Amino acid sequence: MEKFILALDQGTTSSRAVLFNKKVEKIATAQREFKQYFPQPGWVEHNPEDIFISQLSVMKEAVMKANIQPEQIEAVGITNQRETIILWDKNTGKPVYNAIVWQCRRTSQITDDLIASGKGELIREKTGLLPDPYFSATKIKWILDNVDGVRQRAENGEILAGTVDTWLTWRLSGHKAHVTDYTNASRTMLFNIHTLQWDKDLLKMLNIPECILPKVMDSSAIYTTTDKDVCGFEAPIASLIGDQQSALFGQACFNKGEVKSTYGTGCFMLMNTGETPVLSKHKLLTTIALGLNGKIEYALEGSVFMGGALIKWLRDQLGIISTANEVNILAESVPDSNGVIIVPAFTGLGAPYWDSYARGTIVGLTRGANKAHICRAALEAIAMQVMDELKCMKEDSGMEITALKVDGGACVSDFMMQFQADILNTPVYRPENIETTVTGAAFLAGLATGFWTSKEQIKKVWQINAIFTPNMESAVREYRYNLWQKAVKRSREWDK
């Protein structure tokens, strides 16, 4: 009987499920968007039940589409939006508050206070991260401090906390397992990436009881099994990994110095730095890339908060496009952006600025500017933010980056990928399979169960779809980048 890997990709705006066969062919896929909540400016929330129900429904839909028997599912792999945090009652399973999403900036004051009290360097040394509302720790503290009775219940051992992988595993297993992996743990700002333990100093600093946190394991392991009554089948849950690290693995960036950039809701660039963590001089993050076979690999990471979400904003908030593809058609209908520059700091700026008070700006507007110019400026803005990251990564690593591997939904834009290559002065490689996040999770689940046996199989699967070669004069590149930096300055500390 043929077997399949079921990979779940729980993202910021939608949940997906993909069934893979042994040849890594997609047999069936299903996807569903869910509601975003913005209760105050800069705040972003999800209903944890929406996350679970949307993921469960697409999982069942994919299995139904494939018309397979439950026993044909070899294993389940989970990759997830990172840093988003959920707290729930250990006995009832009911969330005590909405999920606070990675994009949410409500804890800016808490991180400001940590920095002002001189704790920033200690946090960076232990976790590889910079104090920022982006990470999970201050979100946990906010819920404990602001939701009636939750702190006392947490200290009594009645509350569980976790990132989205932990929440899904707990629910899909019928409450059997409270676990996470090294990559997700490393994004909480509570995990020591050197000792590989929840850090007692950081827990004390933020007054977070350790008993609410999950057990941390490799990214490829048998954590538990799905509950038949919940899922309709019983199979091992065999991989948990944060979405960006999963994309790094799915892009076959197994060697030190290899780099990928994912163009999803945000844009995230990771460089494999091997078994040694590299501390950045340019405010990039040092993070765990993978836990596999008892070994830890590290990465440098640059995080852009608004990537593909900017295109969604043009569609849903401004209404100047009705489908995502229209942005490319309009962008290519004009020779340039007519001087318009967008800095999409809607929820602050990530690497290398880390300014939670920055806000989105559109500069350079004149009477001649129209929606096509705004669309072109939006795509250029996404690429410019990636440029900021790569520039720092080159300097931190001391390596010349010879190519950038790209993936994620927004990388289908030939216009944006060409502009990306031009502004970076670096070739951009787009693979045949741009859904490397979900593929990475599938491979890791397959490795844990023996469905696949080696990284070499992934390398054979990875194939190039297109290479975008730089074709911009250096003087033009320098002028464009300087203008971008000028625009970024206009957006900084706006809400302070």
- In the prediction, which pLDDT does 308 show? 87
Q: What is the mean pLDDT of residues 352-360?
A: 87
- In the prediction, which pLDDT does 75 show? 97
Confidence tier at 276 by pLDDT (50, 70, 90): confident
Lowest mean pLDDT among 91-100, 288-297, 453-462: 453-462
Q: What is the mean pLDDT of residues 68-88?
A: 95
- In the prediction, which pLDDT does 128 show? 92
Name the token pair of 102.
């990675």
Which is it for strands 220-225 and 236-242: parallel, antiparallel or unpaired? antiparallel
Confidence tier at 333 by pLDDT (50, 70, 90): very high
Contact 382, 410 (CB under 8 A): yes
- Helix or strand holding residue 100 (H, E): strand 99-100
Residues in the chain: 496
- In the prediction, which pLDDT does 137 show? 96
Q: How far is CA 472 from the centre of its chain?
A: 30
CB-based contacts of 208, cutoff 8 Å, min separation 6: 137, 140, 141, 144, 190
pLDDT averaged over every residue in the chain: 92
Lowest mean pLDDT among 53-62, 73-82, 250-259: 250-259
Confidence tier at 64 by pLDDT (50, 70, 90): very high
Q: What is the mean pLDDT of residues 430-447?
A: 91
- In the prediction, which pLDDT does 101 show? 95
Confidence tier at 82 by pLDDT (50, 70, 90): very high
Q: In what order do the strands lie in the sheet with 404-407?
A: 285-292, 295-304, 267-274, 259-263, 404-407, 428-431, 464-468
- In the prediction, which pLDDT does 264 show? 83
Segments of 204-359 assigned E as strands:
215-217, 220-225, 236-242, 259-263, 267-274, 285-292, 295-304, 341-343
- In the prediction, which pLDDT does 417 show? 95
Confidence tier at 454 by pLDDT (50, 70, 90): confident
- In the prediction, which pLDDT does 483 show? 95
Q: What is the mean pLDDT of residues 443-467?
A: 89
- In the prediction, which pLDDT does 282 show? 83
Whether the pLDDT of residue 258 is over 80: the answer is yes
At 140, is the secondary structure helix, strand, or coil? helix
The rounded radius of gyration (Å) of the Cα atoms in the chain is 22
Residue whose entry in the numeric block shows the structure tokens 């593929």: 439
For 96-108, b where at least 16 C-beta lie within 10 A, e where not — what string?
Answer: bbbbbbbbbbbbb
CA distance linking residue 102 with residue 104, whole number of Å: 6
At 397, is the secondary structure helix, strand, or coil? helix
Task: Count CB atoms within 10 A of the CB of residue 379.
Answer: 25
CB-based contacts of 65, cutoff 8 Å, min separation 6: 28, 29, 30
Start-end of H helices in 102-199: 108-116, 120-127, 136-146, 150-155, 164-172, 182-185
- In the prediction, which pLDDT does 193 show? 95
- In the prediction, which pLDDT does 24 show? 87
Whether the pLDDT of residue 409 is over 90: the answer is no
Whether the pLDDT of residue 56 is over 90: the answer is yes
Confidence tier at 347 by pLDDT (50, 70, 90): confident
Most confident stretch, 69-78, 250-259, 265-274, 408-417: 69-78
What values do phi and psi take at 206, rounded to 5?
-100, 5
Whether the pLDDT of residue 31 is over 80: the answer is yes
Residue 107 or 351, more confident: 107
Sign for the pseudo-dihedral over CA of 59, 60, 66, 68? positive
CA distance linking residue 456 with residue 458, whole number of Å: 5
Sign for the pseudo-dihedral over CA of 45, 87, 60, 443? positive
Whether the pLDDT of residue 218 is over 90: the answer is yes
Residue-wise pLDDT tens digits, 15-25: 999 999 998 88
- In the prediction, which pLDDT does 387 show? 92
Residue-wise pLDDT tens digits, 172-215: 999 999 999 999 999 999 999 999 999 999 999 999 999 999 99
pTM assigned to the model: 0.85
